[in-house]
Structure 1
Amino acid sequence: MAPIVSTTLSPTGSKETKTTCPYCGVGCGVIANVSDNGAVTIKGDPEHPANLGRLCSKGSALAETIDLDGRVLFPQIAGQKTGWDEALDLVAQTFSAVIAEHGPDAVAFYVSGQLLTEDYYVANKLMKGFIGSANIDTNSRLCMSSSVAGHRRAFGSDTVPGSYEDIELADLVVLTGSNLAWCHPVIYQRLAAAKAARPQMKVVVIDPRRTMTCDIADLHLAIRPDGDVALFMGLLAHLAASNSIDHAFVSVHTAGYEEALQAAAQLPLPDIAARTGLSESELVAFYRLFETTRKVVTCYSQGVSQSSSGTDKVNAILNCHLATGRIGRPGMGPFSLTGQPNAMGGREVGGLSNMLAAHMAIESAEDRDRVQRFWQSPMIAARPGLKAVDMFRAVADGRVKALWIMATNPVVSMPDADAVEAAIRACPFVVVSDVLQDTDTTRHAHVLLPSLGWGEKAGTVTNSERRISRQRDFLDHPGDAKADWWQMAEVARRMGFSGFDYRHPSEIFAEHAALSAFENEGRRDFDIGAYQNIDERTYQALRPFQWPTALTKNYKEDSKRFFAKGDFYHPDRKARFVAIKAPAVTDHTCSAYPLTLNTGRVRDHWHTMTRTGKSDRLSAHIAEPFAEIHPSDAAALGIQDAALVELASPHGKVILRALITPRQARGNIFVPMHWNDQFASRARIDALVPPVTDPVSGQPASKNVPVAASGLNGALYGFAVTSAMPDFRGALYWARARAPGGWRSEIAFSEPVGDWAEWCHVAFNIPVGIEPLGYIDRQDGDVRLAFFDGERLLAAFFLSRGPVGVARDWAVAQLTASHADVRRRFGVIAGRPGADQPDPGATICTCLSVGINHIIAAIRGGASSVEAVSHMTNAGTNCGSCRAEIRGIIDGCLATAAE
């Protein structure tokens, strides 16, 4: 591969910068092109090993999320603008005073997988080596900490053994707890391409829902929530009974096999079927497929780790791979797919409260001494700090009196989110570093610090396959915004600490690399010592690489896998089998909360929407929070499709749109995690999730939550398109999303208002003097009002006693259309296009803005395959994430035609 340079000039004279996507753990390479007029375009980097030029819809839309709308551009104290000196002095003085009076454990940092490794490194060094507490944890605790714990129990280190190419080389890929098509779309496309090239490759999807990933599955196991431990315990017992154990590998390179097998053998097949909700025939089919296929990769993600038994699930999977020696070889191994772009980088620098930097152990006195000597720090944290859930409990009960939150939004993302918000609100001193002024968390900041965003900051990230890549800046730094590492280094100096005189992130990276090699000599897996003398110029041109990269004569550039020949990181260099006990089966049906809530992601949004919510294109596919409900459950509850539904748990309530679908298993409800108070009235789904955690990892359980559901009957339902951001205070329900030229919104009211025209003027910020065109039918409850300023539509409002029948995507398009022809304005009031204005329908392909009606027209025109539809409409030709939906539309149309 040719060297990857940082910045080049394109043939047109514009500047091209190679950087890395800031979304999921795939770590895709991105080329950002900045034209002479400042316009930014984005494309995939064909030279980056993670994506080879592919991007998903979110990555393709990055240029739509980098505007300065809503940005924090200067430091603020108590909501008032101030300078950096005043803000940082206050932070340093307050932290120092709290430590002097209450001790170092009275302060805490809550950081993020959105930070770059250099930011993470400085935060960990400051907290553990100089403040002297381990009270630094990260939202990665919510992501993959059970995977970390499972790796450390089995391997003696937090090591991901394989690489992405192993997924393509495997003959069987098991996807458990992973909606790969929507959550890691580029890896899904690599897998789909490999399967298309080798149809004999098999894919098994283990998931309570029939997700879009099942489109390429040969077997879908609709497992009951938290049935994974029993499933893989049964697999280990089956492998032993079928003489599939690699006894040579087990005897030489592992310990604890007999104990693990004895525990697994306690579950007979009928018991496993009862615990998993699967039939015995489904279990045998999966077990035999795993048994008879040598090259197996098992990919697991949040569906495994976000559980009260998450660590045991991980070790149940690892036990099966260790027992068969299917690890560290091409096309073989367990593979944890991290959720965030730099969750792995945070783990490398010890960003979790129970770890030290460079994969050293905080419980080891030898490791603590080593890190302290390297940092030349006055102290070192002597014990693990508070994990995320416990950290916010400590904030609530007053043990933590000063809290610094960086690049994350815990009021939306933490379990028991309302209690977390109350804790932050009551905390005596809260510092928030962020890029946006208004989030659910920044509203409680005593000090708000403006950070650099993607495209502005520079550093490194590590993806799920241990590949370190550069994020490079190609945009000017807006206002007074500063890098997160700079903010923390300045606070450290003002607190009187030395060792933080960094001038450039390359110096931090060099120190990080040096620590990884310090007194290592092969005893630790993480070693990037080859880069300990890196200078700024070399750092700027750094191309993606996988660790380890130690300064040894035997090091080879292509050493990408661990453990094929053992050499694990326990003191005896042997892996450990873990004897596991299957958790008790949870049954909510007889309780006051008889349904099981599962939370997760949608295709086109990310975390709490603080970035993707800026893009109207990304909001076009799913513009409103929803609850997936099985038809039988909906019928029993009297809930109609597209009606409003209220979900409740002992911790909170939310209101969502009902999506009735057989993809969802009976007794289960799925709700996405993304919506916050900026985009919906009551949709912070983690307000329902209890603060239950895995006892080993401390990771919250977000996939098996008892809830109750009930229909919510509004008196009136509305839809609006507006040029200004609407304000729906007083409505029973609302959800708003960006749209081309403005906003689109869904609304419900518990009762009519007195004057709908006046209400629109206030809610939609309509200038005084502009009168509506349309009508109000008080008897039927129908309202159709449109407000025009010359040729421009300012707002259109549609209201009825039931869900409003409006061609929504067509109505949205009217915000950017010219309305010089007065007669055509009546089409806006009607809410549907005329014969000469085709309606695209709901967006299916976000990348290329292809609607469902375009796809149906192609099918009616003779397209009977995804490829044919793609050829006629271009849908699915960019990231390919919509191809499963296109296939579903084709199947539905063909089934209807056959009736």
Structure 2
Amino acid sequence: MSSAPFSNPSLTRENGAIATTCPYCGVGCGILAAARGPESADIKGDPEHPSNFGRLCSKGSSLGETLSLETRLLYPEINGRRVSWDDALTTVANTFQRIIETHGPDAVAFYVSGQLLTEDYYVANKLMKGYIGSGNIDTNSRLCMSSTVAAQKRAFGEDVVPGCYEDLQLADLVVLVGSNAAWCHPILFQRLLAAKRENRRLKIVNIDPRRTATSQSADLHLPIRPGTDAVLFNGLLNYLRQHDSIDFGFLEKHLGLYAEAFETARKTAPSLPAVARICGISEEDLATFYQWFARTEKTVTLWSQGVNQSSSGTDKVNSIINVHLATGRIGKPGMGPFSLTGQPNAMGGREVGGLANQLAAHLDIENPEHRNLVQTFWNAPRIAEKPGLKAVEMFRAIAGGRIKAIWIMATNPAVSLPDSNAVRDALGRCEFVVVSECESGTDLSQYAHVSLPALAWGEKDGTVTNSERRISRQRAFLPPPGEAKPDWWIISRVAQRMGYGDDFNYQSAWEIFVEHARLSGFRNNGERVFDISGLAELDRAGYDALKPIQWPVNQCHPNGVPRLFDGGGFSFPGRRARMVPVLPKAPANLPDSAYPLVLNTGRIRDQWHTMTRTGKSARLTKHLPEPYAELNPHDAARYAVPDGSLVRLESRFGQALVRARVTEDQQRGAVFVPMHWSGPYANKGLINALVNPAVDPVSGEPESKHTPIRIEPYRAAWYGFALSRDPLHAIEVDYRITTRGDGYWLYELAHSEPPPDWAAWVRELRAQPSGSSESASTKRAYAEEEWLQFADPYSGRYRCALLHSGRLQFCIFIDRSFELPPRSWLAGLFGLDRVPDRTRMSLLAGKPASAEDDQGPIVCSCFSVGINTLKRAIRKQNLTTAEQIGAALKAGTNCGSCIPEIKSLLQG
């Protein structure tokens, strides 16, 4: 076999940097990381990695700021008490064994994560399906990508993404559906925009109910009515048939079934006027899109959570795949259907059977031959004979007592699953909960009977697979902290204590990877596209030096394959694909008089999942520091919700309290809320508590984009914010947001009743937590503190600031109105060793004497450039383009995800 994938490794670069892979989205960017002690590192993009060629987004470039051990789980615990690893592992193994012997293998479950490395995933799946003998292992990838998995299996016979990132640069038309790639996959989106600058023919279409940062760069934005994607693409399929744009040669040669799909499209989307009416868009814009698609051979269609997270997400994905199969636009340069993966290793988890309805190596759990193949390869005592419970079903089974024990790894279902209050209730009832986690004090921690400290990014070693099937290495560049261990080690040691020692005697991630590679080629004979048997003979040095490579990697393709299916070769018998008839369906629940609005949840630019990692970076929290609800001005007026006020959201499942943002970018009748905030950062910002737990009947993916809700203004007795050099404790208020800054903590506050005495309340707020002690020097320091205070009981206004030796320690601003001074200038004072005398005069006013001193809220997180700085530069230097602003201030020159906001400032 050629040594190309792992020759010239260049693992260690200048300054001792280690080549590794970003732990965030599915783009899979390469990183050069150089440790600077046990809790910090210099982070740069890897110019040799083919996913990003050296560029990083704001999240990736700030990874060095997220390595603090301050909140890490460092030792095993049983019921909150530190124990030895032997005690913890033995307790897990014995309890699982007891429950299995008493109630059967389906009484236990694993819930895993796209944050695991492939080797971790492989061992967990092997233990559950091949040794415990149950299918009850599922993953949080169920929540974001399982509709695509199901659709690709229905169309291709296997879960395969046919194209590669280069296709975006070679296309003449790129269609983004349900994807705000400018924020959620920014490095890939910047590659697309660079291609657009080079290719004047290239057009971008964005299909999304909201006008987003992605929409601003599109040549055409189709703000379709939520849930009508399948109608739109059925209409396109019908249009292609009517206008002789079908590749019948490709159909006859490479498709087994297609006639019914055309007929269903004709019946459900018969004409442009009918489709435009159902989708809520103009006939003119719809015709433009259809004409562009019909006339442009080099077309790539990208989709993400806006399509997947639906009770008919699988059908929506198939409606997209159908138009590419019908036109033969698949597997060729610059064309194909392309799923943008949400997590760094969602695809790696799929490769090893991390979903409850899969076996490892893209084999089917319901196929007896496949079960025999896997059981034989593993020499397993048993094999799961039926699919296990998918994520939402799994936690319902816990609530119902059918699952007695669950092991949760590298994810937080208490925050991320829909109807999360019900999930928490289920966990509270569960007989035995094991949590393998990096962090302590999460929303999930309180439910853990056993907590097992796992290695985090930067400490663990293995592989991940990105959205274009590219396997990359994550390499350790930091030492293991405390007693933390790799997930694969934890799982295999439990397996050994359960009596399966010989088959789980792994000593390194390399041993697991080569076993995984051997299984992919075992009895394959070219029947399955997923095949990395060409890497099965890697020795340890070869694994350590493995360079990024796209599967399949085998004897026929030793250097990997960028594109698939150009010449057919699908995974169904006969090697033919199938077009799936798609009957469009309404969302699981529709608005009514009690819940008249539609909730849509999603991600924002600078945060990730439940903020466990990104919440540690002060740079990332400055852009959008609070959970918010985007409302159309019509709806805001109808429900008397001013911009910037607090609004209460309620569904049939739960409530949340967030900040209102009124914008024309949001459709009437729809509300968008980010999904990141959890208990440590927002006491009532848990938006998944509201989300409808209805799921797609094929994929099991939840309906996260369409939950009926109602809203009402929240009118507090007072609103306020506090900035403190030290964290505050026991803030008992209706609304509390906690944000980490550069040398300070920011708290947004509101409550229904004022305290009797503001000064006393503030001093209580700053008191040490219960059980802590104060040194004599600390007490002397308190005595030397200087308080500045302003109170106007008539207007309900209170402000105070605390300085020590001239250094700002704390300030708080209270008012009856939610309109309070900006936070950015005050926050900047915490970086000063001494507050200047002239600044003291302005301190309680909350604004500087000179406007030049206030940079304003952050727009560019990569270089910490605020809106006021941008406005001043635009005005004083007469800047007219984003490129000129980049040259002057660097803003927008790294990941580019702030460029849409910069362009809005230029236009305003």
Say if 1:35 and 1:733 are closer, same or farther in 2 by CA, change over 3 A.
Answer: closer
Distance 2:905 2:432 in 1: 53
Q: Decide whether the 8 Å contact of 2:114 with 2:345 is kept in 1.
A: yes
Q: Decide whether the 8 Å contact of 1:208 with 1:664 is kept in 2.
A: yes
Q: Which residue of 2 aligns with 1:188?
A: 189
Match of residue 437, structure 2, among 431, 434, 438: 434
Q: Give the fraction of aligned pairs with identical amino acids, expressed as a percent.
A: 53
Equivalent positions of 1:796-811 (< 5 A) are 796-811=811-826
Equivalent positions of 1:399-548 (< 5 A) are 399-497=402-500, 498-548=502-552
2:311 maps to 1:308: yes
Distance 2:833 2:849 in 1: 15
Match of residue 608, structure 1, among 610, 623, 626: 610
Q: Which residue of 2 aligns with 1:697?
A: 699
Q: Which residue of 2 aligns with 1:248?
A: 249
Say if 1:22 and 1:81 are closer, same or farther in 2 by CA, change over 3 A.
Answer: same
Letter in structure 1 aligned against 2:766: F
Q: Which residue of 1 aligns with 2:902?
A: 886
Distance 2:497 2:576 in 1: 46
2:586 maps to 1:575: no
Compute the displacement of 1:208 (Å): 0.3
Match of residue 727, structure 1, among 729, 753, 764: 729
Give CA deviations for 1:661-695 in whole Å, capped at 9, x if unaligned. Answer: 00111111000000001101101101001110001
Q: Decide whether the 8 Å contact of 2:808 with 2:835 is kept in 1.
A: no
Q: Decide whether the 8 Å contact of 2:786 with 2:804 is kept in 1.
A: no
Letter in structure 1 aligned against 2:892: G
Q: Which residue of 1 aligns with 2:237?
A: 236
Letter in structure 2 aligned against 1:805: L
Distance 1:71 1:764 in 2: 24
Give CA deviations for 1:703-736 in whole Å, capped at 9, x if unaligned. Answer: 0110001100011110111112223532121111
Letter in structure 2 aligned against 1:171: D
Match of residue 842, structure 1, among 830, 849, 857: 857
Q: Which residue of 1 aligns with 2:809?
A: 794
SS, match of residue 740 in structure 1 = coil
Distance 2:159 2:258 in 1: 20
Letter in structure 2 aligned against 1:157: E
Distance 2:96 2:319 in 1: 43
Distance 1:744 1:168 in 2: 42
Compute the displacement of 1:834 (Å): 2.2
Compute the displacement of 1:34 (Å): 2.4
Compute the displacement of 1:836 (Å): 8.0
Distance 2:28 2:172 in 1: 24
SS, match of residue 510 in structure 2 = helix
Give CA deviations for 1:848-867 in whole Å, capped at 9, x if unaligned. Answer: 00000111112112001111
Distance 2:7 2:524 in 1: 29
Stretch deviating more after TM superposition (328-337 or 801-810): 801-810
Match of residue 827, structure 2, among 793, 807, 812: 812
Say if 1:78 and 1:241 are closer, same or farther in 2 by CA, change over 3 A.
Answer: same
Q: Which residue of 1 aligns with 2:331?
A: 328
Stretch deviating more after TM superposition (865-874 or 299-308): 865-874
Match of residue 877, structure 1, among 893, 896, 899: 893
Give CA deviations for 1:392-445 in whole Å, capped at 9, x if unaligned. Answer: 000000000000000001111000000001101110100000011011111210
Stretch deviating more after TM superposition (871-880 or 668-677): 871-880
SS, match of residue 8 in structure 1 = coil
Compute the displacement of 1:803 (Å): 1.8
Compute the displacement of 1:5 (Å): 2.8
2:779 maps to 1:777: no
Q: Decide whether the 8 Å contact of 1:113 with 1:138 is kept in 2.
A: yes
SS, match of residue 794 in structure 1 = strand
Distance 2:154 2:821 in 1: 56
Letter in structure 2 aligned against 1:106: A
SS, match of residue 660 in structure 2 = strand
Letter in structure 1 aligned against 2:434: V
SS, match of residue 830 in structure 1 = coil
SS, match of residue 583 in structure 1 = coil
Distance 1:109 1:463 in 2: 23
Q: Decide whether the 8 Å contact of 1:173 with 1:204 is kept in 2.
A: yes
Q: Decide whether the 8 Å contact of 1:275 with 1:585 is kept in 2.
A: no
Give CA deviations for 1:141-169 in whole Å, capped at 9, x if unaligned. Answer: 00100000000000000000000000111
Letter in structure 2 aligned against 1:880: G
Stretch deviating more after TM superposition (436-445 or 273-282): 273-282
Distance 1:544 1:4 in 2: 12
Q: Decide whether the 8 Å contact of 1:202 with 1:217 is kept in 2.
A: yes
Q: Decide whether the 8 Å contact of 1:4 with 1:542 is kept in 2.
A: no
SS, match of residue 23 in structure 2 = coil
5+ unaligned residues in a row in structure 2: which ranges?
769-778
Q: Decide whether the 8 Å contact of 1:798 with 1:804 is kept in 2.
A: no
Q: Which residue of 2 aligns with 1:26?
A: 27
Compute the displacement of 1:246 (Å): 0.4
SS, match of residue 30 in structure 1 = strand
Compute the displacement of 1:281 (Å): 1.9
Say if 1:790 and 1:523 are closer, same or farther in 2 by CA, change over 3 A.
Answer: same
Q: Which residue of 1 aligns with 2:59?
A: 58
Letter in structure 1 aligned against 2:313: G
Give CA deviations for 1:771-795 in whole Å, capped at 9, x if unaligned. Answer: 6311121111111111122232221
Say if 1:659 and 1:790 are closer, same or farther in 2 by CA, change over 3 A.
Answer: same
Q: Which residue of 2 aligns with 1:285?
A: 288
Normalized against structure 2, the TM-score is what?
0.96
Q: Decide whether the 8 Å contact of 1:6 with 1:540 is kept in 2.
A: no
Distance 2:295 2:830 in 1: 58
Q: Which residue of 2 aligns with 1:621?
A: 623
Q: Which residue of 1 aligns with 2:776?
A: none
SS, match of residue 364 in structure 2 = coil
Q: Which residue of 1 aligns with 2:755?
A: 753
Compute the displacement of 1:819 (Å): 2.3
Compute the displacement of 1:541 (Å): 0.8
Q: Decide whether the 8 Å contact of 2:437 with 2:452 is kept in 1.
A: yes
Say if 1:454 and 1:860 are closer, same or farther in 2 by CA, change over 3 A.
Answer: same
2:276 maps to 1:273: yes
Equivalent positions of 1:344-355 (< 5 A) are 344-355=347-358
SS, match of residue 802 in structure 2 = strand
Q: Which residue of 1 aligns with 2:218?
A: 217
SS, match of residue 815 in structure 1 = helix
Q: Which residue of 2 aligns with 1:343?
A: 346
Q: Decide whether the 8 Å contact of 1:814 with 1:828 is kept in 2.
A: no
Q: Which residue of 2 aligns with 1:566?
A: 568
Match of residue 398, structure 1, among 401, 425, 429: 401
Distance 1:792 1:366 in 2: 72
Stretch deviating more after TM superposition (747-756 or 371-380): 747-756
Q: Decide whether the 8 Å contact of 1:7 with 1:15 is kept in 2.
A: no
SS, match of residue 844 in structure 2 = helix
Q: Decide whether the 8 Å contact of 1:724 with 1:765 is kept in 2.
A: no
Letter in structure 2 aligned against 1:759: W
Q: Decide whether the 8 Å contact of 1:757 with 1:772 is kept in 2.
A: no
Distance 1:344 1:881 in 2: 25
2:858 maps to 1:858: no
Compute the displacement of 1:830 (Å): 1.8
Match of residue 738, structure 1, among 737, 740, 755: 740
Letter in structure 1 aligned against 2:490: Q
Q: Decide whether the 8 Å contact of 2:608 with 2:676 is kept in 1.
A: yes
Compute the displacement of 1:559 (Å): 2.7
Stretch deviating more after TM superposition (597-606 or 558-567): 558-567
Say if 1:670 and 1:506 are closer, same or farther in 2 by CA, change over 3 A.
Answer: same
